[in-house]
Chain A
Amino acid sequence: DADVTQTPRNRITKTGKRIMLECSQTKGHDRMYWYRQDPGLGLRLIYYSFDVKDINKGEISDGYSVSRQAQAKFSLSLESAIPNQTALYFCATSPAGSYEQYFGPGTRLTVT
């Protein structure tokens, strides 16, 4: 969905490096989410934010941090990347009061 964009789309980095993945949306939604997808494990929630002042941990937040800079922007950081953080990362949004989520195209991250 072009209304939710993620940068970069692909990234290869080395163990120990700090990485930031960015998500922007033009849908005007209050709620934003970060997921990772691994083969056979489906989607797992990392962090979510229901508005600019709200940050909540998801199922697998260890090793990650987030920043909600504005309604339209939600960034995911890996402070010190490790190989088992190699995955496909998705940002999603939903409007307040609704849980239908709209996904970005994903960022493929490889940590060597």
Chain B
Amino acid sequence: KAGVTQTPRYLIKTRGQQVTLSCSPISGHRSVSWYQQTPGQGLQFLFEYFSETQRNKGNFPGRFSGRQFSNSRSEMNVSTLELGDSALYLCASSLDPATNEKLFFGSGTQLSVL
């Protein structure tokens, strides 16, 4: 079974631009979560989707948005990029629809904002 796939692996953008990151969950997993990881703050929850609906959202500005498609694939978008958005963005999928027990993470997209 293929794992969680995130594309692209690396991305370099400049301030003010926008970016879209993609995540394909493990086949059969319907819950997809997104996290931002930085050296100073660690892993911080962005949002979680299940059956194309956002179930929960972390404490991030509205510039961060996401969506989930009918095949469970998910995208997240960051608009008007700031230097502080440089981070590793991780997507995770989960089999259990009721909880986030046992998340399976992708290798992430390393975003650098110049």
The answer to whether A and B interact is no
- Chain A residues packing against B (C-beta within 8 Å): none
